[in-house]
Amino acid sequence: MRHILSILIENEAGALSRVTGLFSARGYNIDSLTVQTTEDVTMSRMTIVTHGSDDIIEQITKQLNKLVEVVKVIDLNEADHIERELMLIKVRATGKERDEMKRMADIFRGRIIDVTEKSYTIELTGPGEKLDAFIKALDPAVILETVRTGASGIGRGERILKI
């Protein structure tokens, strides 16, 4: 099953490699990983999307907690949560396609952030499935380039990950 883990980790050199090294050394999967410092710059917040049986997810969280630099780990799946991913997608947009592409972007609440004679670059935010749906809705031939950040997640309501 897919799980989304939120990790608070010391913002120190090499901390990221300890996390990714742990996943590869123990044969766990990383579907996506995002990381950036928090409002407290000594600390980073990482979101890892992974999948595995409940036993494996339990081991992953325990092993992550064992890393000296990891402050806290929560499995967002354990309660209501929100996740968002950002995609920048460059598409061919010439002639008739230009209007059509603009409409598509509007339908998905995307924004066109760069325009050339032949192309648009569209910014699209949402859960991963929405970004997938957008890609599916396009003719593969018009897609020039995509870049996705992977999911960032946060608990709903009062659920807070902080020290």
Partner 1 sequence: MEISGAEIVTRCLQEEGVEFVFGYPGGAVLEIYDAIHKQDFFKHVLVRHEQAAVHAADAYSRSSNKVGVALLTSGPGATNGITGIATAYMDSIPLIVISGQVGTPMIGSDAFQEVDMVGCSRPIVKHNFLVKDVRDIAATFKKAFHIATTGRPGPVVIDIPKDVTIHKTKFEYPQSVSIRSYNPPVKGHPGQIKKAAQLLADAKRPFVYVGGGAVLGNASAEVTELVKLLNLPCTNTLMGLGALDGTDANFVGMLGMHGTYEANLAMQYCDVLIAIGARFDDRVISVPNQFLSQAKKIVHIDIDPSSIAKRVKVDVPIVGDVKSVVSDLVALLKETGQRPNDKALAAWWDQVNEWRKPNSLLYTQDSEIIKPQFVVQKLWEVTDGQAIVTSDVGQHQMFAAQYYKFRRPRQWINSGGLGTMGFGLPAAMGAQMANPYAQVACITGEASIQMNIQELSTCKQYHIPVKIINLNNRYLGMVRQWQEFFYGNRYSESYMDALPDFVKLAEAYGHIGMKIEKPADVEPALREAFSEKLKDRLVFLDFITDQKANVFPMVQNGKGLNQMDLPEHMRGMQQVPFENNRDYGNLC
Q: Which residues bind partner 1 (CB under 8 A)?
A: 9-10, 13-14, 17-18, 21, 25, 55, 58-59, 62-63, 65-66, 68-71, 163
Distances (CA, A) of 54 to 12, 36, 59, 66, 122: 30, 27, 9, 18, 37
Minimum Å gap between C-beta 8 and partner 1 is 8
Pure H helices in the chain: 15-25, 54-66, 96-107, 128-137
Cβ(3)–Cβ(81) under 8 Å?
no
Closer to partner 1 by CB, 21 or 111: give it. 21
Closer to partner 1 by CB, 55 or 117: give it. 55
Closer to partner 1 by CB, 37 or 65: give it. 65
Minimum Å gap between C-beta 152 and partner 1 is 21
